[in-house]
Amino acid sequence: MATVTQLTEFDEVVDVRTPREYAEDHVPGAVNRPVLSDDERARVGTLYKQVSAFSGRKLGAALVSRNIGDHVETSFMDKPRAWRPLVYCWRGGQRSAAMVHVLREIGWEAQRLEGGYRAYRRTVVAELPLLARRYRFRVVCGLTGSGKTLLLQALHDLGAQVLDLEQLAAHRGSVLGNIPGRPQPAQKMFESGIWWSLRSFDPQRPVFLESESKRIGGLQVPEDLTLAMRSSECVWVESNMAARVQYLKQEYAHLLADSAVLAQQLDRLIQLHGRVTIERWNDLAQRREWDELVRELLERHYDPAYTRSITANYARLPEARPLRIANVTEADLLGAARALLESASQLRLALP
pLDDT (mean) for 57-75: 96
Give the C-alpha separation, 300 to 278, whole Å.
11
Residue 251's pLDDT is: 85
CA 13 to chain centre: 19
pLDDT at residue 342, rounded to an integer: 85
- The H or E element containing residue 300 is none
The band of 348, judged by pLDDT with boundaries at 50, 70 and 90, is very low
For the chain, where are the alpha helices, taking DSSP H only? 19-24, 38-50, 53-73, 94-106, 116-134, 148-157, 165-169, 187-198, 223-230, 241-251, 253-256, 259-266, 270-286, 290-297, 303-313, 330-345
Is residue 12 within 8 A of residue 111, CB to CB? The reply is no
Q: What CA–CA distance (Å, rounded) separates 297 from 292?
A: 9
Per-residue pLDDT at 298: 95
- Tell me if 114 sits within 8 A of 2, measured CB to CB: yes
Supply the pLDDT for residue 350.
Answer: 38
Q: How far apart are CA 6 and CA 322, in angstroms?
A: 42
- Give 333 or 114, the one with higher predicted confidence: 114
| CA dihedral of residues 290, 292, 332, 169 (deg, nearest 10) | -60
The residue that leads in pLDDT, 285 or 327, is 285
**CATH domain 4-123 topology:** Oxidized Rhodanese; domain 1 (3.40.250)
Query: Active-site residue 89, yes or no?
Result: yes
Residue 331 pLDDT > 90, yes or no? no
Choosing from 2, 68, 87, 89, the catalytic residue is 89
What does the pLDDT look like over 167-206, one tens digit per residue? Answer: 999 998 776 677 777 899 999 999 999 999 999 999 999 9
Mean pLDDT, range 24-45, rounded to an integer: 97
Q: CA-based Rg of the chain, rounded to a whole angstrom? A: 25
State the pTM of this model: 0.91
| Tens-place pLDDT, residues 293-321 | 999 999 999 999 999 999 999 999 999 98
Measure the CA–CA gap between 77 and 71, rounded to whole angstroms. 8
DSSP state of 320: P
Round to whole Å and give the CA distance between 334 and 151. 7
- Residues 6+ positions from 62 with CB-CB distance below 8 Å: none
First to last CA, the chain: 37
- As a CATH number, domain 135-345 is 3.40.50
Domain parsing of the chain, residue ranges: 4-123, 135-345
